[in-house]
Amino acid sequence: MNKYLFYPGCSMESSAKAYMESMNAILEPLDLRFEEIEDWNCCGATEYLGINLIPAYSLIARNLALALDQVGKMNGTDGTHTVVAPCSACYLNLAKADHYMQERPSLGAKVNEALAAGGLSYKPGALDVRHLIDVLVYDVGLDKIRSRVVRPLHGLRVAPYMGCMLPRPDYKNRWSDHEHPTELDDLLRALGAEVIEYPLTTSCCGGHMTQIGPETAFELIRRLVADADDRGADLMATVCPMCQMNIDAYQNEMNHFFGTDYHMPILFFTQLMGLAFGKEPGEVGIGMELVNARNAMARVGVEVPLTQEPAGPRKKDEGLPMPRRWTKREVEKEAVK
């Protein structure tokens, strides 16, 4: 059984619990063991690097320093110098910190000076930071993944969505292509799914623009969903918690804004792996999504129980006032006043 250091990141324990549950469900069948980095902290997501580089890189590098300390506690099996991050933003930040600490010695020195205040240090290049799908495709291998399939996903049409943060920048030339990487496509085919041609696989989902410029985010989400729908996809599969949350949680808002009526489920690729490996929907978090995947799952003979109805809205005197939901036409009218 191959051991890897594991950096979960914040979303895996909150908004992306389905990702965590489904990942855990496929580890044993693939002879993988993940050792969580002890006392890890948030990577800072995508915002902190735009504020102050030294605190931002120090926050990220603390996780690398903790991981390096932990290597000595593990048996020297393959993978112990590898940090696996399933979140694309976390992967990018960890890889970026390691890369720039090597490329810019002065930055590395300042970061290590900050780490020293907590009794830590990190030697740039000592660890290999990799995304979960990278390890699955290139270490485990598609043949082994294919051999674990007991419920082929025949007839399920899937749009493979990698997102923008995973393939670019590619510091160590890991991916088959920077604009249209095929790793996710190949893995989904190994599960028996029908993978549609999806040119927007590395287009942005809007990220945190949902909070600061929702109209822009809605347009980006609309393009992704509309293209998948036009090409006949039953669902989208992604490798990124942010992408999954934006397309799932804001699809209803996007529909209201544009006057559309899309219903495009988006699941994590590990959820589809778990299903193909014979797991039940509840074991891999299917049913947690807001845009339900019941119709898509029915295509492969999987019945997803109806989720519990959400609690009704709070009374006006109990909840915070909500902002008005604008439509695109209303926004355009306001703009010309």
93 CB neighbour count, 10 Å cutoff? 29
Residue 39's pLDDT band (boundaries 50, 70, 90)? very high
Buried residues in 180-194 as b, exposed as e (16+ CB within 10 A): bbbbbbebbbbbbbb
3-state secondary structure 247-259: HHHCHHHHHHHHC
Q: In the predicted model, is pLDDT for residue 72 greater than 90?
A: no
Q: Give the 3-state secondary structure of residue 137.
A: helix
Q: For residue range 159-214, list pLDDT tens digits in order.
A: 999 999 999 888 888 999 989 999 999 999 999 999 999 999 999 999 989 988 99
Q: In the predicted model, is pLDDT for residue 324 greater than 90?
A: no
Q: In the predicted model, is pLDDT for residue 140 greater than 80?
A: yes
Q: For residue range 77-124, list pLDDT tens digits in order.
A: 555 699 999 999 999 999 999 999 999 999 999 999 999 999 999 999
* pLDDT (0 to 100) of residue 101: 97
* pLDDT (0 to 100) of residue 16: 97
CA distance 27 to 30: 5
Residue 193 identity: A
* pLDDT (0 to 100) of residue 328: 77
293 CB neighbour count, 10 Å cutoff? 24
The H-or-E segment that residue 195 falls in is strand 194-195
In DSSP notation, 209-223 reads HHHH-HHHHHHHHHH
In DSSP notation, 29-79 reads GGTEEEEEPTT-----TTTGGGT-HHHHHHHHHHHHHHHHHHHTTS---TT
Cβ-Cβ contacts under 8 Å for 69 (sequence gap 6 or more): 120
Among candidates 193, 16, 184, 3, which has minimal Cα distance to 89?
16
Q: What domains can be seen in the chain, in order of their start residue?
A: 2-132 (1.20.1050.140), 151-298 (3.40.50.11810)
Q: For residue range 282-310, list pLDDT tens digits in order.
A: 999 999 999 999 999 999 999 998 764 44
Cβ-Cβ contacts under 8 Å for 299 (sequence gap 6 or more): 155, 156, 234
Cβ-Cβ contacts under 8 Å for 170 (sequence gap 6 or more): 178
